[in-house]
Amino acid sequence: MVEYILGNYLVETGKITKEQFRRILESQDSVRVKLGLIAVEEGMMTMDQADEVNRMQAVMDQKFGDIAVIKGYLTEEQIAKLLKRQGSPYLMFVQSLVDEELVSLEEVDGLINDFKRINGYSNSEMEDVKSDDVDRILPLLLPEEARQYQAVIGAAVRSLIRLVDRHIYLGEAAMVDSLPSEPLVSQTLAWESGIVDCFSERDGALLNVCSIFGQEEFTELNEESLDAAGELLNCINGLYASNLSRQGEFLEMMPPEYAGVREMVRRGSICRVPIFVGEHGLYFTVAEII
């Protein structure tokens, strides 16, 4: 998720082109972050020290970490910590930017600080973005009035990542005046009060999700294709209901519906979350029922 959040920012600000961004994304699965980059990011080594070790690797048949330990720049314990971080999506993205020579390592801190300033993030909130953790990123994108929906929205995002595409990412959520009227699939979850949540199309992602999850190439949104989205929504809400049951709360899941939402919802309770699959988006909307 973090690669899309930062990558789209770089495209919007003209730092990289859309084509360069696509090329970076294609390389993400194969990129292995170098220990030197992680060591500099962690403040364990200076950039000059990392460059020196990289140069020494050209003439010594030893790993970066072994040379850094010999030089006294790192300890064995620090190497172990750095190795655990090699899978960081944030650092993989930065490594790709540097490897493609789109930005220099010296520019990275400035770009991140600009992103943090523009979004009004604190240092700890910027670490939440870098973490690539849905539960840490989601509160940054939800309005205060929608925090009650964080658990079900989180279940939706994690399910999409696991079952549809690992590169799912979110836009900023907003409180809106009405539920969507376009082709959609919805489900009502009832207990003492209850909520209704739904998927609706934005610009092509819902149809794509139906095809991927349904394992069939759908060409239009109709009851047949939306049935796949309904099954996915049922999975999401099943996970949400299971988590609630462990806390002693029990709800009834109604069958998914494939037309306009018929439930009456509480005024001011409707939260719409843009979710993107690649370059296309859909909406996940949640509201309280009356």
- Sign of torsion over alpha carbons 140, 171, 155, 150: positive
Mean pLDDT estimate for the chain: 88
Q: From the CB of residue 129, how many other CB atoms can be counted at a distance below 10 Å?
A: 21
Alpha helices in the chain (DSSP H): 2-12, 18-27, 35-41, 47-57, 64-71, 76-84, 89-99, 105-119, 123-131, 134-141, 150-163, 205-214, 223-246
Domains of the chain, CATH where assigned: 2-133 (no CATH), 135-288 (3.40.1550.10)
86-110 confidence digits (pLDDT tens): 778 888 888 889 888 998 888 988 9
Is the Cβ–Cβ distance between 74 and 44 less than 8 Å? yes
| Token reading at 145 | 């009035």
Phi, psi of 132 (to 5 degrees): 65, 20
Angle at 41 between CA 38 and CA 45, to 5 degrees: 80
> Is the model's pLDDT at 31 over the cut of 60?
no
- Indicate the pTM of the whole model: 0.77
134-168 confidence digits (pLDDT tens): 889 999 999 999 999 999 999 999 889 888 988 88
Is the Cβ–Cβ distance between 86 and 33 less than 8 Å? yes
| Token reading at 153 | 């929205």
Least confident of 8-12, 28-32, 161-165, 176-180: 28-32
Q: From the CB of residue 168, how many other CB atoms can be counted at a distance below 10 Å?
A: 23
Helix (H) or strand (E) holding 272: strand 271-277
